[in-house]
Chains A and B, each alone.
Chain A
Amino acid sequence: MRGSSPRMTIRYRGIDAYMCGMRPQDILMPVPAGLCCKPGGFHIDPVRPVERALITHGHSDHARAGHGAVLATQETLDMMRLRYGENFAGSVQAVAYGEEIRLGDVTVSFHPAGHVLGSAQISVTCKDRRIVASGDYKDARDPTCAPFELVPCDVFITEATFGLPVFRHGDAAGEVNKLLASAKLFPERAHLVGAYSLGKAQRVIALLREAGYDAPIYLHGAMEKITYYYQERGIALGELRPVRGMKKAELAGTITLAPPSATSDVWTRRFPDPVTAFASGWMRVRARARQGGIELPLVISDHADWDGLTATIAATGAGEIWVTHGQEDALVHWCKSKGLAARPLDLVGYGDEDEGEAAAVTDEGEAQPGGESQPAGEAKKP
């Protein structure tokens, strides 16, 4: 807990926090297992097995198997089931957006975070104090999930994946147009789009459809289950085909979605002269894109960019900001420069999914040359 001790008196807007009753850190506090709510008897997105877990969204660094009871949106529970199998938790309870649930001394509710399908911010209210743990979120448009909902609060817990002012993600539709222009320019080459298999891939597909692309879109084996799940939930993704079994020549002029690491894997050898694209907020920085051997960087992020983070923080009206994973230093600095109390939470175990997946797959996928890679934590291919 850099810059503040647990006993520190938090002052904001001239009111001594003690005078209001509980201090925020009595309601939620970071512990090795994750964010712990003692008065409610639960953890949020715990990284270790706990008795009762509230899960913000289905990405594997937030949604882990082995908890006693899990409270999450229906979609998040379904995704955990897809990934970990039926017995991923002792018991589960689905919660609708906006529904209030009393847990111990606190009231919790889930609100759309705009990150991926089913993603939620978790509001924890204890007496007159509301803390919102936003998980991962974005305020940009996404046709595959409910838009981010602003929840006014006293303490806002924000991620900082793209917490530097160089990260401004721009219009995702424009990036998809870049992909389509490239596909038009190189009709004899295959376009391989690296995208995280949960959320990003489906968003890219949906954006391609919105841009009028109606040819079949091909999927890497590791993408299939989750993408079909999106379709089951009524997200229109058009005609999708597994890339498995396709002949090289047939893939000329096609677009295939694959986990990021697969785009530099032996797996790519089945494609005719592939153009390697990668849909990620990291693609904003050239050196990052080039390091990964990416030819067509697509700046499409499921995380809020700098403007999104700062605008959201400001709009929540929270006087105190807790910053979790990412570029905490810069965001904490910005908050303080705006007169907000802010501190990094130093939670470990969370990361950007693009990166996490890439690193994990490289290890696994390349162990057997010629084999298809499996993203970490992703369900095995059928």
Chain B
Amino acid sequence: MNRFAELLDRLAYEPGRNNKIRLLVGYFRETEDPDRGYALAALTGALSFKHAKPGLIRDLITERTDPVLFGYSYDYVGDLSETVALMWPKSSSAHHNESFRGHPSPQPSPTRGEGAQPACSPHNDVEGIDVSEGRTAGQTPSPLVGEGWGEGYRGRDRSEIPRTHNNPPPPTLTDVVTTLRTLGKAELPAQLARWLDELDETGRWALLKLVTGAMRIGISARLAKTAAAALGEKDPHEIELMWPGLSPPYLELFAWLEGRGDKPVNRDPTPFRPVMLAHAIEDTDFANLAAADFSAEWKWDGIRVQAVAGRDARGHIQARLYSRTGEDITGSFPDLVPSLHLPGAIDGELLVLRDGRVQTFNVLQQRLNRKVVSPKLIKEFPIHLRAYDLLGDDENDLRELPFAERRAHLEAFVAKLGDPRIDLSPTVSFASWEELAAARADPKSAGAGDDADAVEGVMLKRRDAPYLPGRPKGPWWKWKRDPHIIDAVLMYAQRGHGKRSSYYSDYTFGVWTRGEAGDELVPVGKAYFGFTDEELLQIDRFVRRNTTEKFGPVRHVVHEPDQGLVLEVAFEGLQRSPRHKSGVAMRFPRISRLRWDKPPREADRLETLERMLISMTGS
């Protein structure tokens, strides 16, 4: 457990992705089975313990500590698990209290008054240091002993008195996981308390994070799997493929990764297949591409998903919906499951359709990240799958086939499904890049019709390309519609993280609006990318030289009508947001240009955003 705790501790502070992977690989390499497997399970969210609630932990600490001191401490630390982990009383500190109580009360006697000898022999500078090093807990007769102070005070030489004195030895991660699985609710508090007694601070923190299921250390399941793959120098996609067929503590997986065993076979009827992604096309790319080699379709502004159905061991159809990173999101869209009644794997876009019309992303958002999917929600936001590609048809893996052939399979498959919730993504016909550019500029008259608002560009797919995992350059391109652009004024800057921690790289920007005392800037968004390294240096310098106030890591940067920095901000969409003072929130904002040439007074106004919002959403 302590080794796992150390890993979590380190991961929690490490901002860099590659460094996180390094830490994880190091852990997987050095840790034995089955501990490392349970660690992988904890990091991928494959473990959950239903009885461990924060209230239980609060009760445990309340029984053991002074409530006033707990209150002060909790206020200071701000996190329950951490407060409890840090102030959990431990056996080794007990001797201080005991000795204090056990001591005869020292008398304020004249013997310690004027003229009394100092308590210890004098130490002078350096020489004294070496000599006095030997004065460790209770070994050297203390000069205090003669005064009847006994061993009341032990100079704590921590190299001699291990403060994390664990007896019995602390539990392993495996002990914790296997015990928790079988433990009843009534036995949990006593067991948790025993473990907390046995672990050190970091161990207690990790234990409490583990049992309450609130890790929050910035590790995605995908990253943990990627690290496991790196252990055996395998492609993470391979793990992704076999993952649904594996279960903790993943002995088979680690045996394979270390070259001691065969590749685990995925018996999962509904495995996730790593997704193929596209590169953004640049104007200069077209010169090297022949229009005839490509098929085009609309790029729908929804959520890319993989809908997989297959037969389980008993021959029943099982269906799962995955995000493009392989997360199982079936639970959020139960209304789509009955439509997936034929074995196969569709790559498509999740959309909300009302009366046959594709709704904008803003509408679809109402269905995202819902814990509870109510019948009302299902009715008001009917979910739909628009199919782009077919990766598997029953038992057949189609991914090696060229796109044109897969498309034929897809058309047949969707027809066979015959379900109103699943349809084909129509192709866009074009003979030249100019024709396609025209279609992209006006999807409405190029076939998208009333659904044009939900089109965010076109996709180009080479007709002869197989379905390749990842983002290979060449076979697929995305050609987005031009983003929306406004000129905004830099208002606040915040330090970045990791490599950027010495730079002010997170920017809050605003636009003008009429305030009580004339025009004022109101923040409309925050962006931390889009600029080049050189531009980052320039903005950083500007921020440092034009700070008017500081609030912790945030700097208030000068933003007056004639003084300040105008940022050209590109974004994908707008929506109403009661959380923002301006009432609008941007999607995917980024800094597209620095307008050193433009005085802040000429930056855009909130009214401009309001107009854009109305034209985008019609509301």
**Cβ-defined contact, A128 with B108, below 8 A:** yes
B470 close to A (CB within 8 Å):
no
Give A234's nearest chain B residue, CB to CB: B126
Partner of B82, one of A151, A286, A293: A286
A297 to B156, CA, bound (A): 23
Judged by a CB distance under 8 angstroms, whether A148 is at the interface is: yes
Q: A75-B125, A164-B72, A293-B497 are in contact. Are A315 and B149 (CB under 8 A)?
A: yes
Cβ 8 A contact of A164, one of B23, B73, B135, B158: B73
Q: Which of A34-42, A167-175, A213-221 contacts B (4 or more CB under 8 A)?
A: A167-175
On whether the beta carbons of B77 and A287 are closer than 8 Å, the reply is yes
| Inter-subunit contact B108/A337 (CB<8 Å) | no
Find chain B residues with CB under 8 A from A265 CB: 502
- Bound form: Cα–Cα A381–B83 in Å: 41
Complex formed: what's the CA distance from A152 to B105 in Å?
12
Given contact pairs A146-B128, A285-B82, A338-B100, A170 touches B14 in the complex (Cβ within 8 A): no
Residues on B with beta carbons closer than 8 Å to the beta carbon of A45: none
Q: Contact between A185 and B23 (Cβ–Cβ < 8 Å)?
A: yes
- Are B128 and A285 in contact (CB-based, < 8 A)? no
Contact A311 B156, beta carbon cutoff 8 Å: yes
Query: Once the chains bind, are A147 and B133 in contact (CB under 8 Å)?
Result: yes
Q: What CA separation (Å) do A311 and B92 show in the bound complex?
A: 12
A307 CA to B86 CA, complexed, in Å: 12
Tell me whether A152 and B110 are in contact (CB under 8 A). no
The yes or no answer to A190 lying at the interface (CB within 8 A) is no
A152 with B119: CB separation less than 8 A: yes
Assess the B108–A319 pair: CB atoms within 8 A: yes
Q: Is A5 an interface residue (CB 8 A)?
A: no
Nearest-neighbour CB distance to chain B for A371, whole angstroms, equals 11
Q: Does A130 contact B (CB under 8 A)?
A: yes
Residues of B within 8 A of A241 (CB): none
User: Taking the complex as formed, is B87 at the interface, i.e. its CB lies under 8 A from any CB of chain A?
Assistant: yes
Proximity bits, A133-172, B CB within 8 Å = 1, else 0: 0000001110111111111111000000000111110111
Query: What is the CA–CA distance of A315 and B149 in the complex, to the nearest angstrom?
Result: 8
Q: Is A247 close to B, CB under 8 A? A: no
- Give residues of chain B (561-578) contacting chain A, Cβ–Cβ below 8 Å: none
A125, CB-defined interface residue at 8 Å: yes
Closest to B202 in A: A170
Stretch in contact with the other chain, from B35-43, B159-167, B276-284, B422-430: B159-167
Q: How many angstroms from the CA of A234 to the CA of B200 in the assembled complex?
A: 36
Given A295-B13, A311-B156, A333 and B122 contact (CB-CB distance below 8 Å): no
- Which residues of B513-555 have CB atoms within 8 Å of chain A's CB atoms? 540-541, 544-545, 552-553
Which residue on B lies nearest to A182, using beta carbons? B10
Q: A150-B119, A152-B112, A166-B83 are in contact. Are A333 and B68 (CB under 8 A)?
A: yes
Q: Are B96 and A310 in contact (CB under 8 A)?
A: yes
B155-A150 in contact (CB<8A):
yes
CA distance A276 to B495 in the complex (A): 15
Closest chain B residue, CB of each to CB of A164: B73
Beta-carbon contact of A145 and B129 below 8 Å: yes
Q: Does A58 contact B (CB under 8 A)?
A: no
Residue B22 at the chain A interface, CB threshold 8 Å: yes
**Contact yes or no, A185 B22, CB < 8 A:** yes
Which residues in window 90-124 of A have CB below 8 A to B?
96-100, 107, 109, 111-112, 118, 123
Which residues of chain A are near B125, meaning CB under 8 Å? 73-75, 118, 146, 233
Interface residues on A, range: 35 or more
A191 to chain B, nearest CB (A): 13
Query: Which A residues are in CB contact (< 8 Å) with B70?
Result: 165
Chain A residue numbers with a CB within 8 Å of B168 are none
Q: Is B179 at the interface (CB under 8 A from chain A)?
A: no
Binds B, one of A63-71, A81-89, A266-274, A348-356: A266-274
| Assembled-state Cα–Cα distance A291/B77 (Å) | 12
The answer to whether A171 touches B87 (Cβ under 8 A) is no
- A297 to B114 CA separation, bound complex (whole angstroms): 46
A368 to B23, CA, bound (A): 36
| Distance (whole angstroms) from the CB of A55 to the closest CB of chain B | 16
CB <8 Å contact, B69 and A129: no
Q: Which of B16, B129, B149, B152 has the most CB of A within 10 A?
A: B129
A260 in the interface (beta carbon within 8 A): no
- How many angstroms between the C-alpha atoms of A266 and B537 in the bound complex? 10
Query: Once the chains are docked, how many angstroms separate the CA of A74 from the CA of B78?
Result: 43
B124 within 8 A of A: yes
Q: Contacts A141-B158, A264-B495, A287-B77: A125 and B113 contacting too (C-beta < 8 A)?
A: yes
What sequence of 0s and 1s flags, for each residue 153-181 of chain B, a beta carbon within 8 Å of any chain A beta carbon?
11111110011100000000000000000
Q: A125-B113, A285-B86 are in contact. Are A170 and B26 (CB under 8 A)?
A: no
With a cutoff of 8 Å between Cβ atoms, the chain B residues found around residue A291 in the complex are: 552-553
Residues of B within 8 A of A329 (CB): 72
A295-B13, A334-B69 known; A111+B119 contact, CB < 8 A? yes
Q: Whole-angstrom distance between the alpha carbons of A152 and B116 in the complex?
A: 11
Complex Cα gap A147–B134 (Å) = 10
Task: From B77, B83, B162, name the one whose CB has the most chain A CB atoms within 10 angstroms.
Answer: B77
Instruction: Collect the chain B residues with CB atoms within 8 Å of residue A145's CB.
Output: 129
Chain B: which residue is nearest A289 at the CB level? Answer: B13
Residue numbers in B under 8 Å from A139 (CB-CB): 155-156
Give the chain B neighbours of A382 by CB distance below 8 A.
none
B95-120 contact mask (Cβ, 8 Å, vs A): 1 or 0: 01101100101111110111110111
Q: Can you list 29 A-B contacts with CB-CB less than 8 angstroms, sorted by A residue number? A: A13-B105, A74-B125, A75-B125, A96-B124, A97-B122, A107-B115, A111-B119, A128-B108, A128-B110, A129-B108, A139-B155, A143-B133, A146-B129, A147-B155, A152-B112, A152-B147, A166-B87, A170-B158, A172-B158, A235-B129, A269-B502, A287-B79, A291-B552, A295-B14, A307-B163, A310-B96, A327-B76, A369-B540, A369-B545
Nearest 8 CB-CB pairings of A with B: A98-B122, A317-B106, A315-B153, A128-B113, A314-B100, A166-B86, A234-B126, A311-B96
Give 11 new A-B contacts, CB below 8 A, not counting A287-B82, A315-B153: A109-B118, A126-B114, A140-B156, A146-B125, A233-B125, A265-B502, A294-B13, A296-B10, A307-B163, A314-B96, A314-B153
